[in-house]
Amino acid sequence: MDGMETAQFSAVVVLGLLVFFYGGTFLLSTRIGKKTENADGYMTAGNNIGFGISAASMTATWIWASSMYASATSGYTYGISGPIHYGLWGALMILFIYPFGKRIRSVAPKAHTLAEVMYARHGRSSQLMLAGSNIVGSLISLMSNFIAGGVLISLLSPFNFTQGVFAVAAGVLLYTLWSGFRASVLTDFVQVVAMLGAVAVIVPFIFVAADFPAAFETGADNLTPQQGDFFSSEAFMEQGAPYIAAVLAYAIGNQTIAQRLFAVKQSLIKPTFVTATIGYGAMVIGVGMLGVLALYLGFEPSGGDLNNLIPEMAATYLPPALLAVFFIMIIGALSSTADSDLSALSSIMMADVYGQNVTGKEKANPRTMLLIGRLTMVLATAAAVAFASLQLSILDLLVFVGALWGALVFPVLASFYWEKVTSRAFTLSVLSALAVFLPVRFSWISVDGFFGLVVDVLSIIGVGVVLGLMVFGFLGAKPARIVGALAVVLTAPFAIGSLHEYATLSGSLVAYSVSTVVCWAMSVGNNERFDFAVIAERTGDFDDGSAAATALSEDAAPAAAGAGTPRRRSGDAEDPDGDPQPTGSK
């Protein structure tokens, strides 16, 4: 690794780059600072963000350092199809958000979190379940980005991993703490433009420096037959298929995405997510190809740790000036997602824990909410720094969280479309799915024999659920049922007896299938109907409408236009502990 040794930066240079990036980002965030901040602006920036900022923010949030590292790891592990499976399916999942997102915003135009909407739809148990899963997911995401930053700084400077983690954590907290979500989306715009430009220069340069295309001819012997096959079944079963299921769950269950869905101007949901789809796919697949190049070159990351792959490839083949650009690119990527995680966690604690469960929406004090949001950011940063010391595999973390959220996808979506879904059906379906997912995913129980057959059957149903949901968002219920049924019929002959051998994939699929079957079975016989119009009344501003003044768009048209007039049905009431009890919710 002589090239890497000569490319390392001195401590002064690294400190200068960090001060340049985080100092500049902090100064940018102070331009939108307010002497008197309000809670709604801190969480969703007035529900009226314009196209450019919202599209850039969605792209930057989905493109994180972990996705770059994981895409390269996929290329290094599975060959040329690895980055395609990672980047293409991830990009398409962004696209799948917008039809569901339009429905969610139409029934809850001024909400702050999905969990807040579940409170209005079902009550406290489903709200806390969704909020709790997002707290776990955002902490894992935050930890993953701190790991990526610590690895980068430790490889390219005299500082060690722990010092790198602390530097990144402090930098992100510095510019996010005061203005919350507004600081996150504004800085995302600058960060994503810089990242896309850097990738367009750095990836081709490394390929040329590594003697492309000759390296792909001379290094072909370094690949196994599966790694050399673009249509590798191993790559699809172990990377592509699990990620299809995982990122659909990310799209529906992730608060960082939901927060942007609630923040963007309602009429701009479609162009925002279509643009983010293109930006994400191009950037992540491009960076992932560095992992393929490393595979052909026979490149060995130090210590066998694949988290080191991208930094070491850059250090080996880039001159100092471009290595500095690469450093800023990775720092920008991880920071754009880390600040989103902090904003998501703060909004959950502000709206779901304090605003709905501690005081109730009508009695919530916006100033107290802001204090809670900022304290949450500090505590979450400290927790993520502590967990980052474990240095877990980033790719494994991403797939695990996505599969975990798979248990929530059908109950959450059904709650926005189907009037029959009850609170009990939501809660028990999610708990049942988790009870099956965990033993399958971590092989706590032997999957040989009869139990393996059960897992295969549930997984096949899960295939139908995933594909059916994708079709449902764009084409409606009838085509979704047809596609789901065909998927089950066509998959069964190939999957029975073998699908349980892929623990990651089957674990994710059983989470989908069990939650769907239980939720449907417990709701289909319900004769009561929920009136979706009451959700708009039960969610909304905590600052009496003042959040509109914090919008980052010049257009002041209300985000709730066309959402309908909220009304309460005659049968609606509240139970003694404050949970809303709309007709049909129990």
Q: Domain spans of the chain? A: 18-391, 418-530
pLDDT of residue 576: 33
> Residue type for 423, please?
S
| pLDDT of 423 over the 70 cut | yes
pLDDT of residue 130: 86
Over residues 464-476, the mean pLDDT reads 92
What is d(CA 323, CA 314) in angstroms, rounded to the nearest whole number?
7
Over residues 19-37, the mean pLDDT reads 76
DSSP readout, 75-122? Answer: HHHH-THHHHHHHHHHHHHHHHHHHHHHHHHHH-TT-S-HHHHHHHHT
Report CA-CA distances (Å) from 97 to 277, 339, 409, 567: 10, 21, 12, 27
Is the Cβ–Cβ distance between 238 and 503 less than 8 Å? no
Q: In sequence order, what are the beta bridge partners of 581?
A: 573
Non-local (6+) Cβ contacts of 6 within 8 A are: none
| pLDDT of 288 over the 70 cut | yes
Is the Cβ–Cβ distance between 208 and 429 less than 8 Å? no
- Per-residue pLDDT tens over the stretch 221-277: 888 889 888 888 888 888 888 878 777 777 787 788 888 888 888 888 899 999 989
pLDDT of residue 63: 79
Greatest mean pLDDT among 59-73, 105-119, 360-374 lies in: 105-119
| pLDDT of 362 over the 80 cut | no
Residue of 423 and 403 predicted with greater confidence: 423
pLDDT of residue 95: 86
Q: How confident is the model at residue 402 (pLDDT cuts 50, 70, 90)?
A: low
> Residue type for 8, please?
Q
Q: Enter the pTM of the model.
A: 0.78
What is d(CA 366, CA 351) in angstroms, rounded to the nearest whole number?
10
Q: How confident is the model at residue 32 (pLDDT cuts 50, 70, 90)?
A: low
- Helix 241-253 / helix 450-475 crossing angle, nearest 10 deg: 60
Over residues 341-356, the mean pLDDT reads 88
What is d(CA 20, CA 15) in angstroms, rounded to the nearest whole number?
8
Query: Quick one: which H or E segment has residue 209?
Result: helix 181-209
| pLDDT of 565 over the 70 cut | no
Mean pLDDT, all residues of the chain: 82
| pLDDT of 410 over the 60 cut | yes
Residue of 567 and 244 predicted with greater confidence: 244
Does CATH number 1.20.1730.10 belong to domain 18-391? yes
Q: Looking at residue 585, what DSSP letter applies?
A: -
Is the Cβ–Cβ distance between 384 and 139 less than 8 Å? yes
